Structure 1
Amino acid sequence: MSQNNLFQEFDAVSSKQWKQQIQYELKGADYNETLVWESPEGIKIKPFYHRDEFELSLPSGRPTNGFKITQNIFVHDVAKSNARALDTLQRGAECIRFTLENKAISLGDLMQNLPLKDIPYFFYLPFLEIDFVNQLQQFALQHQAHFILQIDPIGQLGRDGNWFENLEKDFEKIHHIAQNSPIPFLSIDSSLYQNAGANGVQQLAYTLAHANEYFNRIPQHPHPFTVNVAVGSNYFFEIAKLRALRLLFTTLAKEYGHEHEVRILVTPSRRNKTLYDYNVNMLRTTTECMSAVLGGADFVANLPYDALYHKDNEFGDRIARNQLLILKHESYFDKVHNPADGAYYIETITQQLAEKALALFKDIEAHGGFITQLMEGTIQRKINESAQKEQEAFDSGKEVLLGTNKYPNKNDRMKGDLELYPFVKQNPRKTLISPIIEKRWAEKMEQERLASEE
Structure 2
Amino acid sequence: MITRHFQLGADFPEVSYADWRKAVEGDLKGAPFEKRMISRGYEGIELQPLYTEDIFPTREDPSGVPGHPPFARAASVLGNRLQGWDIRQEPDHPDPAQANAQILDDLAGGGTSVSLRLDAAAWHGLDADAPQAGQWFGRDGVAISTTADLAQVLDKIRLDVAGAWLHAGAAFLPAAALYVATAQANGVTPDRLLGGFNADPLGTLMHDGSLPVPVERALADTADLASWTAANAPRMTAVEVNTSPYHDAGANSVQDLAFLLGSGVAYLRALTDAGLDVSLAARQIQFSISVGARFYQAIAKLRAARVLWAAVVAAAGGTPDAQAMRMRVATGRRVLTTRGQSVNILRNTVAAYAGAIASAEAITTIPFDAPTGISTEQSRRNARNTQIVLAEECHLNHVVDPAGGAWYIEWYTQTFVEQAWALFQQIEAQGGMIAAIANGWVAERIAAVETKRERDIASRKVPITGISEHPSIHELRTPQQVIDRAALRDATARKLAAWRSGHASGTALAALAASQDGRTAAAIAAAQAGATLGEIAAALVPPGSEPAHVSPLVVHPYDEAFEDLRDAAEAFATRKGHPPRVWLAGIGSIAEQTARRNFSRNLFESGGFEVLGHEAATDVEQAAAAFAQSGATVAVICSTDKRYPAVVPELAPKLKAAGARHVILAGNPGAAEAAYREAGVDRFIFVRCDVLETLWSLLRAEEAV
| TM norm structure 2 | 0.60
Does 1:254 pair with 2:314?
Answer: yes
- Worse-matched range after superposition: 134-143 or 113-122: 134-143
What is the aligned partner in structure 1 of residue 427 from structure 2?
Answer: 364
TM-superposed deviation, 1:115: 2.6
| Contact 1:153/1:164 (8 A) holds in 2 | no
What is the aligned partner in structure 1 of residue 253 from structure 2?
Answer: 200
CA distance in 2, matches of 1:330, 1:300: 17
What is the aligned partner in structure 1 of residue 94 from structure 2?
Answer: 76
What is the aligned partner in structure 2 of residue 104 from structure 1?
Answer: 146
What is the aligned partner in structure 2 of residue 209 from structure 1?
Answer: 262
Moved over 6 A (4+): none
What is the aligned partner in structure 2 of residue 136 from structure 1?
Answer: 179
CA distance in 1, matches of 2:191, 2:304: 37
TM-superposed deviation, 1:448: 2.4
CA separation of 1:96 and 1:131: change in aligned 2, threshold 3 A: closer
Does 1:158 pair with 2:214?
Answer: no
| Contact 1:279/1:305 (8 A) holds in 2 | yes
TM-superposed deviation, 1:9: 2.8
What is the aligned partner in structure 2 of residue 125 from structure 1?
Answer: 168
CA distance in 1, matches of 2:384, 2:461: 32
CA distance in 2, matches of 1:266, 1:419: 30
Work out the number of aligned pairs and report it: 445
CA distance in 1, matches of 2:255, 2:469: 28
1:5-404 aligned within 5 A: 5-56=7-58, 57-59=62-64, 60-62=72-74, 63-65=79-81, 66-74=84-92, 76-101=94-119, 102=122, 103-106=145-148, 107-128=150-171, 130=173, 132-137=175-180, 139=183, 141=189, 144-181=192-229, 182=233, 183-219=236-272, 220=276, 221=281, 223-258=283-318, 259=322, 261-404=324-467
Provide the secondary structure at the position in 1 that maps to 2:549: coil
**Which residue type is aligned with residue 444 of structure 1?**
A
**Which residue type is aligned with residue 161 of structure 2?**
D
**Which residue type is aligned with residue 305 of structure 2?**
L
**Which residue type is aligned with residue 55 of structure 2?**
E
**Which residue type is aligned with residue 58 of structure 1?**
S
**Which residue type is aligned with residue 259 of structure 2?**
Y
TM-superposed deviation, 1:223: 3.0
What is the aligned partner in structure 2 of residue 426 from structure 1?
Answer: none
Provide the secondary structure at the position in 1 that maps to 2:104: helix
| Contact 2:85/2:363 (8 A) holds in 1 | yes
CA separation of 1:7 and 1:157: change in aligned 2, threshold 3 A: same
CA distance in 2, matches of 1:135, 1:28: 68
CA separation of 1:52 and 1:431: change in aligned 2, threshold 3 A: closer
CA separation of 1:51 and 1:415: change in aligned 2, threshold 3 A: closer
CA separation of 1:418 and 1:399: change in aligned 2, threshold 3 A: farther
TM-superposed deviation, 1:154: 0.8
CA distance in 2, matches of 1:192, 1:130: 20
| Contact 1:75/1:100 (8 A) holds in 2 | no
CA distance in 1, matches of 2:17, 2:87: 41
1:438-453 aligned within 5 A: 438-453=555-570
- Worse-matched range after superposition: 217-226 or 303-312: 217-226
CA distance in 2, matches of 1:74, 1:294: 27
CA distance in 2, matches of 1:385, 1:397: 19
CA distance in 1, matches of 2:31, 2:442: 40
TM-superposed deviation, 1:32: 2.2
CA separation of 1:385 and 1:12: change in aligned 2, threshold 3 A: same
| Contact 1:309/1:418 (8 A) holds in 2 | no
TM-superposed deviation, 1:132: 4.7
- Worse-matched range after superposition: 127-136 or 225-234: 127-136
**Which residue type is aligned with residue 27 of structure 2?**
E
TM-superposed deviation, 1:284: 1.7
Cα offsets for 1:209-268 (capped at 9, x unmatched): 111111122212363322111111112111100000111011112222341522211111
Provide the secondary structure at the position in 1 that maps to 2:30: coil
| Contact 2:352/2:365 (8 A) holds in 1 | yes
| TM norm structure 1 | 0.91
CA separation of 1:448 and 1:31: change in aligned 2, threshold 3 A: closer
**Which residue type is aligned with residue 195 of structure 1?**
D
Provide the secondary structure at the position in 1 that maps to 2:166: strand
| Contact 1:82/1:110 (8 A) holds in 2 | yes
| Contact 2:282/2:313 (8 A) holds in 1 | no
What 5-or-longer segments of structure 2 have no aligned partner? 65-71, 123-144, 484-546, 575-705
TM-superposed deviation, 1:419: 5.8
| Contact 1:224/1:260 (8 A) holds in 2 | no
TM-superposed deviation, 1:82: 2.7
**Which residue type is aligned with residue 159 of structure 1?**
H
**Which residue type is aligned with residue 233 of structure 1?**
A
Provide the secondary structure at the position in 2 that maps to 1:217: helix
| Contact 2:374/2:480 (8 A) holds in 1 | no
Cα offsets for 1:88-114 (capped at 9, x unmatched): 111100121111333423344443322
What 5-or-longer segments of structure 1 have no aligned partner? 421-429
What is the aligned partner in structure 1 of residue 657 from structure 2?
Answer: none
Provide the secondary structure at the position in 1 that maps to 2:116: strand
**Which residue type is aligned with residue 313 of structure 1?**
T
What is the aligned partner in structure 2 of residue 427 from structure 1?
Answer: none
| Contact 2:249/2:554 (8 A) holds in 1 | yes
Q: Percent same amino acid at aligned positions?
A: 26
CA separation of 1:120 and 1:263: change in aligned 2, threshold 3 A: farther
CA distance in 2, matches of 1:129, 1:440: 27
CA separation of 1:257 and 1:80: change in aligned 2, threshold 3 A: farther
**Which residue type is aligned with residue 294 of structure 1?**
I
1:397-416 aligned within 5 A: 397-412=460-475, 414=477
| Contact 1:178/1:222 (8 A) holds in 2 | no
Provide the secondary structure at the position in 2 that maps to 1:373: helix
- Using CA pairs below 8 Å that are at least 6 residues apart, which structure has the higher relative contact order? 1
Cα offsets for 1:263-292 (capped at 9, x unmatched): 211111222222222111111211121112
CA distance in 1, matches of 2:80, 2:245: 25
CA distance in 1, matches of 2:5, 2:33: 36
CA distance in 1, matches of 2:203, 2:17: 46
| Contact 2:211/2:548 (8 A) holds in 1 | no
TM-superposed deviation, 1:127: 3.4
| Contact 1:15/1:53 (8 A) holds in 2 | no
- Worse-matched range after superposition: 125-134 or 291-300: 125-134
CA distance in 2, matches of 1:312, 1:417: 7
RMSD: 2.4
**Which residue type is aligned with residue 291 of structure 2?**
V
